[in-house]
With several copies, the nearest count.
Chain A
């Protein structure tokens, strides 16, 4: 708390045109704060608004410094740049199995994740079709995915049509535009298949 007070005093006294070390530190901290609370990829516009600047270049410079600091630090967290200049703070994948039991929200196991993949890939898709292809056990998956806000169901005539939510797109840093998102997903799956081949 004392630290914080000192910092704001320093900031208030610093000249605007010559970014002081404190000012840089402050911007980096703001970006870190934004990424930490969001828990999803943020695009450059959102990050600009946090820094209260219109300069995407400036924001990009800061976020890249922050990402490289994280990389140098070599700890459990990483800042990744996703497609379309989106950035996300997350746990490195290798740590997931070691701490996932401490997560206070339902985590999806492989079965529901497969169902999610399939819905995402084929959306909009009727619930019936998903059940036909994946089996009757997916009713529980669909319920879980809806509860977690990853999938939404809409009534269309007599059938239920499933699609992924905006939260889903945000979570994975995918486009909100359906066609684009599907293309992005197809690439994700292709990369995955490649990795599988390499590792097997």
Chain B
């Protein structure tokens, strides 16, 4: 009997046993557990009895963490937004019954003409507004969206053109504008030229024109200079 009592560690007795019985732990109401008391008395008892067991301490710590978690989950649950307010209750009378009655109405053709006057005046106004507002040239908004998209993407387009050029001029180090825009539509020719100007402004390409043939030559020769310049600075 006595040996059986000694074998059974103290922490399997109440109140500490709840920390070591996982089935009980899941079912209990966390608010009913005073963790601070349990842990401090557990330590005191362990010190007093001399049964120092680190595994038991670990389990006790784990269980109390779990109880804390349960408590905080409950707290969060309590703080969930309240359900939407129910519509206010009020006595809702039954629908009124509308008996069918014939009723002569007072509107005559004269009334129709009186209000027509007003409407026709409105009609004239509408026509007038339309005549004035009729645009002769396409509005800027009809051109701008395309231009906007082009401008927004200009950085990207410059990069693309630049890598295209880098590949093209590998051998000779130079390319004619006419070769660059071969088979391109007018709008793309313009776009390419604008992009070249931007690249030249940034010093990534150099452009020069043959005054007789009007051919424009493009090189990326200056790039190295620019880069080395940057590296030096």
**Mask of A119-143 contacts with B, CB within 8 angstroms, 1/0:** 0111000000000111100000000
A interface majority secondary structure: helix
Residue total for A at the interface (Cβ-Cβ under 8 A): 43
Q: Is B126 at the interface (CB under 8 A from chain A)? A: yes
Residues of A within 8 A of B116 (CB): 114, 117-118, 120-121, 189, 192
Q: B111 touching A106 by the CB < 8 A rule?
A: yes
Stretch from A46-54, A61-69, A90-98 contacting the other chain: A90-98
Q: Which residues of chain B from 89 to 105 have any CB-CB distance to chain A below 8 Å in the complex? A: 90-105
A91 close to B106 (CB less than 8 A): no
B-side contacts of A173, CB under 8 Å? 109
**A39 near B103: Cβ-Cβ < 8 Å:** yes
Q: Knowing A113-B111, A121-B120 touch, does A133 contact B104 (C-beta < 8 A)?
A: no
B107 within 8 A of A: yes
Q: B47 in the interface, Cβ–Cβ < 8 Å?
A: no
Flag whether B123 is at the interface (Cβ < 8 A).
yes
Q: What residues on A are CB-neighbors of B88 within 8 Å?
A: 132-133
* Contact indicator A105/B106 (Cβ below 8 Å): yes
Contacts of A118 in B (CB 8 A): 90, 92-93, 116, 119-120, 123
Are B112 and A106 within 8 A (Cβ)? no
Pairwise interchain contact B119-A91, C-beta atoms closer than 8 A: no
Bound-state CA distance A103–B123 (Å) is 32
Q: Which of A106, A110, A122, A135 contacts B95 (CB 8 A)?
A: A110
Q: In the docked arrangement, what's the CA distance between A172 and B108, Å?
A: 7
Q: Residue B94 contacts which of A89, A135, A193 (CB distance < 8 angstroms)?
A: A193
Q: Does B118 contact A (CB under 8 A)?
A: yes
Q: A105-B105, A118-B93, A133-B92 are in contact. Are A93 and B112 (CB under 8 A)?
A: no
Residues from chain B with a CB closer than 8 A to the CB of A104 are: 106
* Size of interface on B: residues with Cβ below 8 Å to A: 34
Contact yes or no, B112 A133, CB < 8 A:
no
Considering the complex, give the chain A residue whose CB is closest to the CB of B100.
A91
B117, CB-defined interface residue at 8 Å: yes
B87, CB-defined interface residue at 8 Å: yes
**How many angstroms between the C-alpha atoms of A93 and B98 in the bound complex?**
9
Which B residues touch A95, using CB under 8 A? Answer: 100
Residue of A with least CB distance to B127: A133
Contacts of A135 in B (CB 8 A): 87
Residues in A with CB closer than 8 Å to B87 are 132-133, 135
- Does the CB pair A103–B104 fall under 8 Å? yes
Shortest distance in angstroms between B66's beta carbon and chain A's nearest beta carbon?
A: 46
When chains A and B are docked, how far (Å) is the Cα of A93 from the Cα of B101? 10
**A30 interface contact, C-beta 8 A:** no
Which B residues lie within 8 Å of A88 (CB)? Answer: 99, 101
| Set B91, B101, B106, B119: member contacting A106, Cβ < 8 A | B106
User: Do B115 and A91 touch (CB < 8 A)?
Assistant: no
Q: Which residues of B74-98 are within 8 A (CB) of A?
A: 87-88, 90-98
Residue A152 at the chain B interface, CB threshold 8 Å: no
B101 touches A91 (CB 8 A): yes
> Could you give, for residues 159-173 of chain A, a 1 whenever the CB lies within 8 Å of some chain B CB and a 0 otherwise?
000000000000111
Q: How far is the CB of B104 from chain A (nearest CB, A)?
A: 4
Given A116-B112, A134-B122, verify A40-B93 contact (CB < 8 Å).
Answer: no
Asked whether B93 lies within 8 Å of A133 as measured between CB atoms, the reply is: no
Q: Does B113 contact A (CB under 8 A)?
A: yes
User: What's the minimum C-beta distance from B162 to chain A, rounded to whole angstroms?
Assistant: 51
Q: Smallest distance from the beta carbon of B109 to chain A beta carbons, Å?
A: 5
- Is A196 among interface residues, defined by CB-CB distance under 8 A? yes
B positions within 8 Å CB-CB of A = 87-88, 90-109, 111-113, 115-120, 122-123, 126
A residues whose Cβ falls under 8 Å from a Cβ of B: 36-40, 88-91, 93, 95-96, 99-100, 103-108, 110, 113-118, 120-122, 132-135, 171-173, 185, 188-189, 192-193, 196
